[in-house]
Amino acid sequence: MIGWYELSDTLRATVAGIFGLFVGSFLNVAIYRLPREDVTVSNPKRSACPNCKRQIRWYENVPVVSWLALRGRCAGCRWKIPWRYPLVELLTAGLWAFAAARLAPEQWGLLGVHLLVLAGLVVATFVDFDCFEIPDEVSIGGIVLAPLVALLLPEIHADTWIARELSHGAPIGRWPALVATLAGMATGGGILWGIGWLGERLYGREAMGFGDVKLLCGAGGLLGPGGTLAALLVASLVASVVGVANIVRVLFVARSRVRRRRANRSFGRSFQTARIIGRYLPFGPYLALGIGIVLVAWNDVRAWF
Ligand SMILES: [Zn+2]
């Protein structure tokens, strides 16, 4: 039997990508079920069409292929299956392939952590888009995972400054890695909590969801303090660009409605409305993006900065 080590880089990425497709299919289930009270991820065992409750057969559940074969519709009621289902599968496959391609075959432990975290970030992203919340399974999961990883796999902090200083040039030890983890958790959780606290004092409304605080706290434990700041910077930059684009979009829709109805509404008032509506964007997806980039490609990010 051919082992993981003998596979070429391309083949290893392909294997990870194919596993990613099936995991993505499972993540779709998690994204749908985690925020709902009446179901859990493992119960009921089989998925059903949300529209006609018809049980989905195994051959209707093959990632991407089934969606294409069914032309994006439920075989029972012709309900349109959102294109997000195959998208999540392809996204997970792409992320897993990319992560596998970036690590040496001996780093399979680290790869396992990367794959697990990437899967969690995909779930956090889409649940936050849907429900404006980040499931505790992901955020608290990260907070529990980070110290365990530091103890079992200290090399995850090979690029964390504080862990390197404490190891004096030797390979990163358990305790330096744990210190880096705790410092990263304090950085991630502390900064977002501080921003939230300040925002509430300044604007009198919730400025930062506690889910975001918990998510960056857990991620900070894996990224270390520097990586956490980089992830937050990436998240803020992308979120600002998307936020502005969203306000422009809402403004555009509002203005074309004004023109269609020949209503007498000033541009300034439309802009006010657009700013208020456009502001309601979840931050979790951008945090997840920043965390994922720094986790998998930290060295490239650092060179870029
Ligand atoms: Zn149906």
Tokens of 222: 């894996």
* Cα 78 to middle of ligand 1, angstroms: 6
pLDDT at site 61: 87
E strand or H helix at 140: helix 136-152
Count of CB atoms situated within 10 Å of the CB of 228: 30
* Cα 51 to middle of ligand 1, angstroms: 5
* Cα 44 to middle of ligand 1, angstroms: 17
Do residues 88 and 107 touch, judged by C-beta distance below 8 A? no
* Cα 67 to middle of ligand 1, angstroms: 13
Spell out the domain ranges in the chain. 1-106, 134-305
Which among 194, 193, 191, 184 is positioned nearest to 219, based on CA atoms?
A: 184
Residue found by looking up tokens 């075989």 in the block: 75
Which among 224, 35, 202, 21 is positioned nearest to 126, based on CA atoms?
A: 35
* Cα 76 to middle of ligand 1, angstroms: 5
Note the pTM of the prediction, 2 decimals: 0.92
* Cα 82 to middle of ligand 1, angstroms: 12
CB burial of 19-29 (b: ≥16 within 10 Å; e: otherwise) equals bbbebbbbbbe
Residues of the chain with pLDDT under 70: 1-2, 278-279, 305
* Cα 162 to middle of ligand 1, angstroms: 54
Q: Distances in Å between the alpha carbon of 127 and those of 122, 123, 176, 177, 271?
A: 9, 6, 34, 31, 29
* Cα 54 to middle of ligand 1, angstroms: 6
* Cα 131 to middle of ligand 1, angstroms: 23
* Cα 55 to middle of ligand 1, angstroms: 9
Residue found by looking up tokens 């300034």 in the block: 268
* Cα 20 to middle of ligand 1, angstroms: 26
* Cα 277 to middle of ligand 1, angstroms: 33
Residues lying with their CB under 5 A of ligand 1, a single-atom ion = 49, 51-52, 74, 76-77, 79
* Cα 15 to middle of ligand 1, angstroms: 32
CA dist 274 and 247 (Å) reads: 5
* Cα 26 to middle of ligand 1, angstroms: 19
* Cα 70 to middle of ligand 1, angstroms: 12
